[in-house]
Amino acid sequence: MRELTKAEEQVMLILWEIKEGLTKDVIEKMEAPKPAYNTVSTVIRVLEGKGFIDHRAIGNTHIYFPLITEAQYKHFAFDKVMNNYFENSYESLVSFLVKEKNMDIEALDELIQMAEKLKNKK
């Protein structure tokens, strides 16, 4: 799997939400100012070439749908962040959240409790 560009991610988020649709359906879900039809169509073709989406043809019309789930992409993206920025260390990640993102003690306690529950399930 490859990382999505911002434009590709925007299209994928919409396709994950609507499950399937035409190019015009994707554009309708976009915020203003909406990109040109040809721009969105190009992004869709790139996503198809990368294996993120496919289409079903009905005459000259293409109905696009995701091949990769949002959960699969989140897993990939999180793993990439963990590898590239936190050296696969959850301690480094939590330290970053506490120091840089001002994670409060209550949220940290919830995170610890969640980790303990997951640890006990193993």
Match 């799997």 to its residue by tokens: 1
Structural contact between residues 3 and 83, judged by C-beta atoms closer than 8 angstroms: no
- CA atoms of 24 and 62, how far apart (whole Å): 11
Q: pLDDT tens for the chain, 122 residues: list them.
A: 899 999 999 999 999 999 999 999 999 999 999 999 999 999 999 999 999 999 999 999 999 999 999 999 999 998 899 889 989 888 888 888 888 888 888 888 888 888 788 778 76
Q: How far is CA 35 from CA 7, 74, 78, in A?
A: 10, 25, 28
